[in-house]
Structures are given as structure tokens and as C-alpha cells.
Structure 1
Amino acid sequence: MDEPAATETGWRGSREGWLQAAYDALIENGVDSVKIMTLAARLKLSRTSFYWFFKDRDEVLDALRGRWAEATTAPLVAATQDYAETGTEAMLNVLACFLSGRFDARFEFAVRSWALQDEAMMAAVHAADADRLSALTAMLGRWGHGAEDADVRARTVYLVQIGYISMQAEEPMATRLARIPTYVEIYTGKRPEPRELARFHARIGQ
């Protein structure tokens, strides 16, 4: 008689457990550490258990690509569409996405490093960059910026945020928050109102 499904899951782990181990390995040591034996050792499971959930290493890497999109591009695009009363508040929504942790910066850094040695991953990164820039440009367009102006402002916003991640910039939160009104003014041409900043601080728990 076959073992109960719950017992099988406990014995072999779970798909999400294996994927989490792959995520942790990628974040800590890069894509070269995402290997079946390494993940099995991390989980204290047999190597063969992996194959109950993934066909091979490529399949778990594909799953990581999907998880990365869900943890970075999806929340950023959603932030550009969040409710806002003004263009400055709309920009604060975008900055809150990064500062609140909705955008997984560690995942982004690891994937960009991975892309340096994987053409398919680099293509995925370039596609994500285009989607994110398109969302930012569209948001600025909705708040009255012309096409060229919106494009340049969107690139300014995006390249600064990715620069923070790529450089692994360490900046006290108080310092970064103090700069937010000026960043918003540079990005939108207008300084945020105190009430908008108050909502922004509440949103990020600061």
C-alpha cells in the first residue's frame, strides 16, 4: 500500500522547501551553489527526494526565475498603480516599495550577478528592466509628464534604485529618509506635502 501523501511530503520535503533552499543558496553563495547535492545537504534530505518535485537543476532554476519576478517586478509595477492623490504621492508609493521590503533587493542583487554568467538570465533581467521602466514611465505620464520627460524621469528613478542595490550601498535609514523629499522633487519636479510624507512614513513603518 502506498504511504499517505502527508508522510511522503514530510519524508522528501516539499516543493516549496526545496525552492526555498535554492533561494537561500543563491542569496548566500550565488547560482553555482544551487546544486542538487548542495540543496539536499542543506535540507538534510536524500538527493533522490529532489526529483519528486523537480525534473532537474534547470527546472529549479526556472522556478527561481519565476519567484524573482514575483518578488521584484510584480510589486514594483503594482506600486506604480497604487492609489495616490498627487504625482508626488505616486512617487512616494514607488519609493515605499523599495524601502518597505516589498521589492526583494537581495534577490535582485543575486539575480543580476547570476545574469553575468547566463545569457538567458541576462535576457530575463533586460526584459524586467524594460517592464519596470515602462510602468514608471506610464505612471509619470498619468500625472502630466510628456513622453520624453516621463522617460528620462523614470530612468532617473530606476537607475538610482538599482544603483543602491548593485552597489550594496549601506546608508542609515534616517539619512535615506531625510533625502526622500529631495529625491521626490528631482523625480517629479514637485516637493511632497507634509501629509503625504506622513502617510509614506506610516506605510514603511518609520
Structure 2
Amino acid sequence: MADALDIDEKAKGWRGSREVWLAAAREAFLESGIDAVKIQPLASRLGLSRTSFYWFFEDRDAVLQALLDDWEDTNTRRMVQASEAFAETIAEAALNVIAVFLPGGGFESRLDLAVRGWAHQSDTVAASVNRADETRLAAMRTMFDRFGFPSGEADVRARTMYLVQIGYISMQVQEDLGLRLKRIPDYVKTFTGQAPTQSELDRFHARVGMV
């Protein structure tokens, strides 16, 4: 039924949508890198005409910028929101941020890794990555500031916490989720100087789907 609908839509001149073209660009990017994001291959992937692309994007540069904007919205925004989420203690605040990086937490590690790889080919993208890193670090410094840490210490703790998370991504660490969860209380204590309470861990485990 779905296939018949697709054929009918194409017969009527269906051009897709901005979201459909962007999703195809993102999939190609994650699979094969930025050089795979080209208009004709995307059209072939979608089974649409090349000219349909231009209803939604002015040119290839426009879809590349949309990919960057999507990355910012998916990863940077969600991480900043997590750092600003309500927490009674700095340990709970750290757990809020850590949860974002776990499966289902909203932060897309493959996308972050792909954009960082792209940054090696483009000064413009490298500048975007640097800005995003600073935005994320600033949010985490503010999180530590909120709990009364001196500015220098807040900066170092924020950097330690963030760079560990990015290290997991950049090194493509393959770690059993159970083992990672087991390590998290000690990570929190290292990052914040404060061990999470059992009730904080229980809420965290419930949030990430590990009861």
C-alpha cells in the first residue's frame, strides 16, 4: 500500500519536502562523508528528479548549511538544555548532562563525529565546531557556577567533564552499557567532587531506561 502511494505521489509530480531531502543528505553524510552529499546522488537515493531539489534548497551549499544547523539543533541545543535542567545538587546536574550522551539521550554521537571529520576539510565548518564546543563548555561552566564553584575550578571541571564525553565519541569507544553505567557514580565524583546519592542514581537509571 505504501509503495503504491509513493508511485502515485511521484506520478503527480511529488517533489518530496525539505525534511525528506535533508534526511537523505544526513543519511548520505553519516554513511559516506560530506563528499557523498551531492544533488544527483541524493535525487537517485530518493527516486526524485534533480530539479525537485531546487524547490527546497538554492544549491548544494544550502543543504550543507542545513546539515550544520541540524547538528547544532540536535546536539548543542540538547546538551545546553541538559546543563540548565533542574537539579538539587551538582552531582544530579552532572547526571542530567551524562544522560544526554547515553543511548536515547538525544545527543547523536555519529553526527558529532561526522561533523568533526568534515571540519578537517573546511575552515568554515572548523569554526562552527569551535563555536559549538565553546557554547557547550560555557553552559557547563555556568552549571558549576550555579552550585558555587570558583570560576577557575568551574572551568577546569567543565572541561574535564566535556572532554571525557567528546573523547568517548572521537575515539569511538565501544563500551558495554552496563559497564559504563557502573562507572558513572565514580565519573560524577571525579567531575564534581561529590558522589551521587542512591536516590539520584535511581532517578538517573529510570530516566535512561535502566531500572
Q: Shorter-chain TM-score: what band?
A: over 0.9
Which of residues 27, 30, 33 is equivalent to 2:30?
Answer: 27
Cα 1:157/1:10, change in 2 over 3 Å? farther
Q: Distance in 2 between matches of 1:146 and 1:8?
A: 65
The sequence identity of aligned pairs, in percent, is 55
Asked if residue 56 in structure 1 is aligned to residue 59 in structure 2, the reply is yes
Give the secondary-structure state (helix, strand or coil) at the position aligned to 1:11: coil
Give the secondary-structure state (helix, strand or coil) at the position aligned to 1:53: coil
Unaligned runs of 5+ in 1: 1-5
Unaligned runs of 5+ in 2: 1-8
Q: Distance in 2 between matches of 1:154 and 1:136?
A: 5
Give aligned pairs, total.
Answer: 201
Q: Distance in 1 between matches of 2:172 and 2:152?
A: 30
Cα 1:48/1:174, change in 2 over 3 Å? same
Instruction: Give the deviation of 1:38 after TM superposition.
Output: 1.1
Moved over 6 A (4+): 6-10
Matched with 1:68 is 71
Root mean square deviation, CA, Å: 1.4
Instruction: Give the deviation of 1:101 after TM superposition.
Output: 3.0
Matched with 1:126 is 130
CA offsets 1:134-184 (integer angstroms, 9 cap, x no match): 000010111121101010000001110001011111000001000000000
Matched with 1:176 is 180
Matched with 2:166 is 162
Matched with 2:3 is none
* Corresponding letter in the other structure for 2:72: A
Q: Distance in 2 between matches of 1:25 and 1:85?
A: 42
Give the secondary-structure state (helix, strand or coil) at the position aligned to 2:14: helix
Which of residues 40, 44, 48 is equivalent to 2:47?
Answer: 44
Instruction: Give the deviation of 1:9 after TM superposition.
Output: 8.9
Which of residues 96, 105, 111 is equivalent to 2:115?
Answer: 111
Cα 1:154/1:63, change in 2 over 3 Å? same
Cα 1:11/1:108, change in 2 over 3 Å? same
Which of residues 133, 136, 145 is equivalent to 2:140?
Answer: 136
Matched with 1:3 is none
Instruction: Give the deviation of 1:7 after TM superposition.
Output: 7.9
Which of residues 70, 81, 84 is equivalent to 1:81?
Answer: 84
Q: Distance in 2 between matches of 1:202 and 1:8?
A: 48
* Corresponding letter in the other structure for 2:180: R
